[in-house]
Amino acid sequence: MKEIVLIKVGEIVLKGLNRKNFESMLIKNMKNALRGADRCKITSSQSTIRVEPLDEDADIDEICERISKVFGIVAFHRAAVAEKNMDSITEVALKYLEETLGGASTFKVEAKRSDKKFPLKSPEICRELGGIILQNHNHLSVDVHNPDVQVTVEVRDLGAYIHASVIKGAGGVPVGSSGNGTILISGGIDSPVAAWMMAKRGLRLNAVHFASPPYTSQRAEDKVVRLLKKVSAYAGNITMYTVPFTEIQEKIKNDCPEELFTIIMRRLMMQISQRIAKDTNSSCLITGESLGQVASQTMPAIVTTDEASDMVVFRPLIGMDKEEIIRISRKIDTFDISIEPYEDCCTVFTPKHPRTKPVLKYVKEAEEKAGFDEMIERAVSNLKITNITP
Ligand code: ATP
Ligand code: MG
């Protein structure tokens, strides 16, 4: 029996004239997400997107798993395909749902008839199929309000489909439909979650990672690549820019007051990330900061960090507790990687007593005295580029 996947799109419906663009973006993202899985044909008609496996023995579980990570999809159905006549519809429905109906006590049939040429009206389809199901499963009774199983028949221009369950999609809007954003990614728990949240709202991602070898190891950098790979299952392709940060960090350590090490480092990260963002057609920065979580995330510290760039900075975790962030990191499967114990450049030269209320004037004076301009140029001209794909 042939099975396909029927996609229900979400907020796309709200977008009026842009709808077509959104839909083609979604289909492109679905194709990318399905690359390397069994071959599928994706078609759109009558506001429904169909994913049709081209091989008899395609792995539909794998296809559904991948589709469940594509933003812009609210829900989807695995459905059996029937010919557009009642004999085929009833035959396929009985066979496809044998087990499901066998384990239920009550059911109802619903019909959606978008092919207006189909001779039976929706209530007639329900009555006929409902009657035959009752004849074949005499333990069942009909419950129109709260059935154990709802059998849905969709008669559409391309075919008739039967399904009895719904799978939750990833929600959000299609990646790319909101433009491009640059995530500052560390190996920690927070930034991969922040990346996922903004991809969910339609941003296509670039990533910037600061590495300070030999203080930070190749393994720490590989960990970030593995984290981004997990995020890319949802966010699609991501270009990662690794910034050589050693020289700058050593200069901070040698030439700046110790209690300002962290804040100056964070400001330089913002400046360099902004340069990369602008060069790569990205319109905003994204960080994993959460208010009050650590010394560099007090309100005055965030305000002082923010001042270093003139680009919009999205901080999707700002009002979230650590438990809420961890819950998402487990869901997107980044948690176990994030807790692997590799050093991050943030843990190199950390001051014993970081300023939790930095004064911008003094911070800027210290930065000017040290003079970072040339080093920033060197850092941005020595980026390492890694392409991450789902
Ligand atoms: P995370 O869990 O994301 O590491 P954190 O709670 O450890 O965050 P910080 O270390 O203060 O907090 O970092 C705050 C944010 O700064 C991170 O969420 C990330 O966006 C950015 N960041 C920190 N370290 C790096 C790095 N090495 N490369 C790129 N961005 C970084
Ligand atoms: Mg960190």
What is the pLDDT at residue 102?
A: 95
What is the pLDDT at residue 21?
A: 83
Other C-beta atoms within 10 Å of 369: how many?
Answer: 10
Helix/strand/coil (H/E/C) assignment for every residue in 336-386: HHHCCCCCCHHHCCCCCCCCCCCCHHHHHHHHHHHCCHHHHHHHHCCCEEE
| C-beta of 313 in contact with ligand 1 (< 6 A) | no
Structure tokens at 373: 């301009």
How far does the centroid of ligand 2 lie from the alpha carbon of residue 282, in Å?
Answer: 23
What is the pLDDT at residue 30?
A: 96
Alpha helices in the chain (DSSP H): 19-34, 60-67, 86-96, 98-102, 122-136, 190-200, 218-235, 246-255, 261-279, 299-306, 322-331, 335-338, 360-370, 373-380
| Cβ atoms of residues 107 and 118 within 8 Å | no
pTM for the full predicted model: 0.93
| C-beta of 186 in contact with ligand 1 (< 6 A) | yes
| C-beta of 196 in contact with ligand 1 (< 6 A) | no
What is the pLDDT at residue 56?
A: 85
Q: Given the DSSP bridges, would you call strands 40-45 and 73-82 parallel, antiparallel or unpaired?
A: unpaired
Q: Mutation test of ligand 1: which of 186, 263, 296 has the most ligand atoms closer than 8 Å to its C-beta?
A: 186
Tell me the C-alpha distance between 216 and 294, whole Å: 21
Structure tokens at 290: 């959460």
Mean pLDDT in runs of 10 for the chain (390 residues)?
Answer: 89 66 92 89 88 92 95 96 97 97 97 95 97 96 96 94 96 94 97 98 97 94 98 97 97 94 96 97 97 87 95 98 97 97 80 85 96 97 96
What is the pLDDT at residue 356?
A: 84
Tell me the C-alpha distance between 271 and 285, whole Å: 10
Q: Given the DSSP bridges, would you call strands 106-113 and 149-155 parallel, antiparallel or unpaired?
A: parallel
